[in-house]
Structure 1
Amino acid sequence: MLRRMIEDEIAKAVEEIFSIDSVNFKVEIPPERFGEFSSNVAMVLTRKLRMNPREIAEKLKERLRESEIFEDVRIDGPGFLNFDLRNEIYLESLRRIIKNPESFGRRERKKMKVQIEFVSANPTGPLTVGHGRQAIIGDVLSNVFDELGYDVVREYYFNDAGRQMDLLARSLWVRYNELFGRNYEIPEDGYHGSYLIEMARKLKEDVGDRFVDRWDEDVLEFFKERAKNEMFEMIKKTLEKLGVKFDVYFNEKTLIEDGTVEEVLNILESKGMIYEKDGAIWLKVSELIDENDKVLVRSNGTPTYFLTDIAYHYNKFKRGFEKVYDIWGSDHHGHVPRMKAAMKALGFPDDFLNIIIHQFVTLKRGGREVKMSTRSGEFVTLDELVNTVGVDPTRYFFAMIDPNTHMVFDMDLAVSRSMDNPVYYVQYAHARIRSLFEKAKEKGIDYRELEDLEELSLKDEKLIMRDMDIFEEILEDVVKDSAPNRLTTYVENLVSRFHAYYTDNLILDVESPKLSNARLNLCRGMEIVLKRTFSILGITAPERM
């Protein structure tokens, strides 16, 4: 990677001139008028050396100008070092991309096990658009971890017991009885969605009038199991349509059945972290963070959600995961500090549990917000959104907004075939490149891979090669910041530079076959980086648009 190459050169110069073998400086891409790369190393060294930063920069500049990788080294402002690289350095980067079309940016396998848990919706209804945002954040993040060599497990955690499942079962029973002319009330806080009507029709075909006017514990269990299975089939079909797959579906009740919950209580007791009060068992949260203590076991003996969640993360730790990432909606924000406290109480490393909070999604159509109410069952499901705008726009739009930001999903923009639509904009660049290769054949211009690259000498060509090279660093940034939008921002900026280059320069010129071939090689490098990016984002690379 070019940036790392520059960092190494600077570090060597610092050690040679100032006998300092470790300094925490940055190499960044500055505004174009300052050069191709820039570093703050002189400012960072000022405190250590007690020298003026420009003085330090002057000494470093003279040493770095001797390096084989720099075409020019300049000082700007209070002491920033700005660099232009030799053309051959960029060409070598382009060669590396073209030689590794399927693996550019991919790292060797690591031994670190990482688990990413996301979606985790209980089987009480279709997935919402909020679940969709979470699904894509989790899926893209998992893909990036995989590219960087981690052993990644994608996991879906669910609870198919409790009051909500009882309400779902009763609601389905009411809808089923309606098909036989019987009128019962859907319970308060029950489920009104039209999906239950379709489910009831299928049930009627299978069992006839067997459960008409009949309700007891056995019927409750039957309807609960039927509703759960139907819902999970619906959920999995939606996720499959969206290209999201899980390695593990983990049922919360197994934590009680296999003794994990009891084991966690015993560990916390041995560490002096729990006590009894009012017939309940409490965790001493207040000893770890500025919050009140929390109940783990209610006075009736049933575990709280908090306890089963602690047990679930204990189970993750026992399975050998070194880092786990939970993706939660913003309504779970208050649960974060107490979960962190619980991990501390169990003695887990501080970086074991990582929680990514995403904000809500608002749908917009026709310039107006789409009103949604999950209580009444009147809401746009994730399945309906995908059917309306398509898989690629759905995935790209959910990935392109910082998880910490409230998202407005413009459905009209998502389906528009215009450069204002970001997914159309980036995919069009790929289609444009494929078209160039077809036109080259028509014009009789032979594409010779890796030949004539020395013809690439324009500033714009160097900057395109630079920006393609930082793809590898962007993947690291996605993981570091838990932000898939870093990847979409990167590809949009890269494509913007390519579209401008395409407009300003003649790519195919029968009078200049060597230059044409060199520019086709540049386009080939761009095509590879786009395909690699699209693959991680889970969108297609169209040949034509």
Structure 2
Amino acid sequence: MSKPMMRFRKQAEERCRKVLEKSGCGDAEITLETPPEDLGDLAFPCFSLAKRLRKAPQKIAEDLSADMEPSGLIERIEANGPYVNFFMDRSKLAEEVLRDVLEEGKGYGRLDKKNVRILLEHTSANPTGPLHVGRARNPIIGDTMARILRMAGYDVTSEFYLNDVGRQVVVLSYGVRELELDTEPERDKDDYRLVLHYQKANALMEEDPSVLDEINGMLYDLEHGNEETIRQVRSACERVLAAIMNTLDEINVKIDQFTWESKFIEEGQVEGVIETLKKSPLCKQEEEGAYALELDSYGIHGRDADFVFTRKDGTSLYTTRDLAYHLDKFGRCDIAINVLGEDQKLGQTQLAAALDIIGEERRPEWIFYAFVSLPEGRMSTRKGQVVYLDDLLDEAVDRALSEVKKRRGDISGERMTEIARSVGRGAVRFNIVRIQAEKQIVFKWEEALNFEGSSAPFIQYSHARACSILRKAEREGLDWKGYDPSCLSEKQELDLTKAIGMLPLIVEECAEGRKAHTMAQYAVELAIMFNQLYQFVSVLKAPERERKARLALVEASKICLGNVLGLLGIDAPEEM
């Protein structure tokens, strides 16, 4: 399809390239910006050319713009200070955008297939207890990125990497096998039940050296293939995993496949990695028998410079198994992306160094996120200081139901609950994904469940409002068939048309920049534009030609809002 906003950008870039080549600056980087309202649709800044052309940026902009001819989707080109500003032909835009959206429907915004395989690892929580809000960003960012990357034309597989070998799962297994609970779990779910065993065993291990010795023995047995230990640990992990997946399903997080960490021990990849690392000139054996790599030459210094890859008893560490996992990953994809907490940055730097040492040229990409914390500090499953994601979801639905009851006394209780589930869970997901991954979130109930302003309910309500207008039109025997896009001339109409036309560009920007939060920002802007149309422009009572064009615009808005909500993993209700 035509994707007019992408074509407009390309046409502006081509004009810039042509005049820059004539000026002897054909190798200059072309970066187009979005100018303030009324100063065009795209702007080319000329500051970087001043030194080469020995002119003031303002003079450069004047000379370049004078040598450019508007055509295609470019209506006019003007110099404004140090910028060359490009103005789009809004009538052509309206015609092409509406045609694209109405023809493509749910596929609108999808980019051409790239034939590139992406393996996107996210969530990968230790299966020792329920998901807490502190780490809820991982599955939400990961799932949203998977949706966006698929829309951008990539072949995406999402993967959950399960730790069924490390100390934490052995502590869990020991607790399930040896310890009786003296308290009831908060919920009748295995993740809530088994985390009590884990916390009790963890506390006992810190107090009693004999328990620590027994757990270390189980860890050794696990890595050396003891079938009973493997069975016990896997059984406990699977019970917790099933419960975690129930929670993820409640926020529309889908995972394509699971990889168990023990696989790389059982199939010999970990042993192969250890033997290769031992041959490195950077390898050293510690006094107690552990093996490590010295990574000073990779810019890692101090205590962190030692990358320990076996314990003194010869068992591997998580980092060693992670190396084997990445070698396996690289054989299954063209691009590997890891969604990880910011506390993993050092470990991933060490991983990259170790990959280099064993002669592997490929590296994963990383999306690091800052943790969600409580006002009183960081959450910890081990210490039992958490707000669980299930609690947040329940509270969100309860608050949403209260709002629905106030506004919709005309529908059944069952329908109220349905709407409340969509709204409450969407509010949680949006509140987390709207913040740039690198920025910390301090979790506060009143902010997380804010249903006003820049929120999922506001976007969902805009979609429901579009559906309501179209339903009313249908009841009155009105439709948009045979519409004339040239009838769209009001500012609100043209602004909304442009916003809808931006979706393919936003998909590309989010996918290539690996930035999920930009899609959330766009969703709010799109909803604002639609509500301005609703507030200032009559649709159903307009004269026939204008009414048809506006109904087509409302239909396009509904489709675009629905597609964006889908990319964010949020339901698009038809009524609220």
TM-score grouping bracket, smaller chain normalisation = 0.7 to 0.9
Distance 2:508 2:351 in 1: 26
SS in 1 for 2:76: strand
Alignment of 1:283-302 (within 5 A): 283-291=293-301, 292-302=305-315
Contact residue 27 and residue 39 of structure 1 kept, 8 A: yes
> CA shift at 1:479, angstroms?
2.7
Counterpart of 1:260 (choices 269, 273, 279) is 269
CA distance change for structure 1 residues 76 and 178 in 2, over 3 Å: closer, same or farther?
A: closer
Matched, 1:90 2:88: no
Contact residue 285 and residue 292 of structure 2 kept, 8 A: yes
CA distance change for structure 1 residues 413 and 268 in 2, over 3 Å: closer, same or farther?
A: closer
Contact residue 437 and residue 520 of structure 1 kept, 8 A: yes
Alignment of 1:120-519 (within 5 A): 120-173=124-177, 176=180, 195-196=193-194, 224-268=233-277, 272-278=281-287, 279-291=289-301, 292-317=305-330, 319-349=331-361, 352-362=363-373, 374-377=381-384, 379-389=386-396, 390-415=424-449, 418-420=451-453, 422-448=455-481, 451-510=483-542, 512-519=543-550
Counterpart of 2:32 in structure 1 is 27
CA distance change for structure 1 residues 6 and 539 in 2, over 3 Å: closer, same or farther?
A: same
> CA shift at 1:288, angstroms?
1.9
CA distance change for structure 1 residues 373 and 68 in 2, over 3 Å: closer, same or farther?
A: closer
Distance 1:50 1:448 in 2: 57
Distance 1:167 1:263 in 2: 27
Distance 2:275 2:385 in 1: 45
Matched, 1:102 2:106: yes
- For structure 1, which segment, 240-249 or 404-413, has the greater mean C-alpha deviation from structure 2 after superposition? 404-413
Residue identity in the other structure for 1:456: L
- For residues 403-427 of structure 1, the C-alpha deviation after alignment (integer angstroms, 9 at most, x for no partner) is 11111344445555x5336111111
What is the CA RMSD across the aligned residues, in angstroms? 3.1
- For structure 1, which segment, 489-498 or 168-177, has the greater mean C-alpha deviation from structure 2 after superposition? 168-177
SS in 1 for 2:558: helix
CA distance change for structure 1 residues 296 and 370 in 2, over 3 Å: closer, same or farther?
A: closer
Distance 1:375 1:523 in 2: 51
Counterpart of 1:525 (choices 552, 556, 573) is 556
Counterpart of 2:571 in structure 1 is 540
Residue identity in the other structure for 2:33: E
> CA shift at 1:484, angstroms?
0.8
- For residues 191-214 of structure 1, the C-alpha deviation after alignment (integer angstroms, 9 at most, x for no partner) is x996249999xxxxxxxxxxxxxx
Residue identity in the other structure for 1:294: F
5+ unaligned residues in a row in structure 2: which ranges? 1-5, 184-189, 199-214, 219-226, 397-423
Contact residue 289 and residue 341 of structure 1 kept, 8 A: no
Counterpart of 1:49 in structure 2 is 53
Contact residue 15 and residue 21 of structure 1 kept, 8 A: yes
Distance 1:142 1:193 in 2: 26
Counterpart of 1:60 (choices 46, 64, 80) is 64
Distance 1:257 1:175 in 2: 29
SS in 1 for 2:136: helix
CA distance change for structure 1 residues 70 and 223 in 2, over 3 Å: closer, same or farther?
A: closer
> CA shift at 1:151, angstroms?
1.9
Contact residue 510 and residue 518 of structure 2 kept, 8 A: yes
SS in 1 for 2:107: coil
> CA shift at 1:478, angstroms?
1.8
- For residues 510-532 of structure 1, the C-alpha deviation after alignment (integer angstroms, 9 at most, x for no partner) is 4x111111112222222221111
> CA shift at 1:155, angstroms?
1.1
CA distance change for structure 1 residues 339 and 405 in 2, over 3 Å: closer, same or farther?
A: same
Counterpart of 2:3 in structure 1 is none
Counterpart of 1:203 in structure 2 is none
SS in 2 for 1:28: coil
CA distance change for structure 1 residues 501 and 296 in 2, over 3 Å: closer, same or farther?
A: same
Number of residue pairs aligned between Structure 1 and Structure 2: 508
- For residues 291-334 of structure 1, the C-alpha deviation after alignment (integer angstroms, 9 at most, x for no partner) is 323221222211222211112111212x2322211122233233
- For structure 1, which segment, 322-331 or 340-349, has the greater mean C-alpha deviation from structure 2 after superposition? 340-349
CA distance change for structure 1 residues 332 and 9 in 2, over 3 Å: closer, same or farther?
A: closer
Distance 2:540 2:68 in 1: 38
Tell me the TM-score normalised to structure 2 length. 0.80
Distance 1:53 1:301 in 2: 65
Contact residue 140 and residue 538 of structure 1 kept, 8 A: yes
> CA shift at 1:544, angstroms?
1.2
> CA shift at 1:343, angstroms?
2.6
Residue identity in the other structure for 2:534: Y
Contact residue 193 and residue 378 of structure 1 kept, 8 A: no
CA distance change for structure 1 residues 63 and 463 in 2, over 3 Å: closer, same or farther?
A: farther
Residue identity in the other structure for 2:193: Y
CA distance change for structure 1 residues 277 and 69 in 2, over 3 Å: closer, same or farther?
A: same
5+ unaligned residues in a row in structure 1: which ranges? 180-191, 201-214
Distance 1:472 1:163 in 2: 46
> CA shift at 1:429, angstroms?
1.0
Residue identity in the other structure for 1:429: S
CA distance change for structure 1 residues 433 and 256 in 2, over 3 Å: closer, same or farther?
A: same
Distance 2:560 2:479 in 1: 22
Counterpart of 1:81 in structure 2 is 84
CA distance change for structure 1 residues 196 and 303 in 2, over 3 Å: closer, same or farther?
A: closer
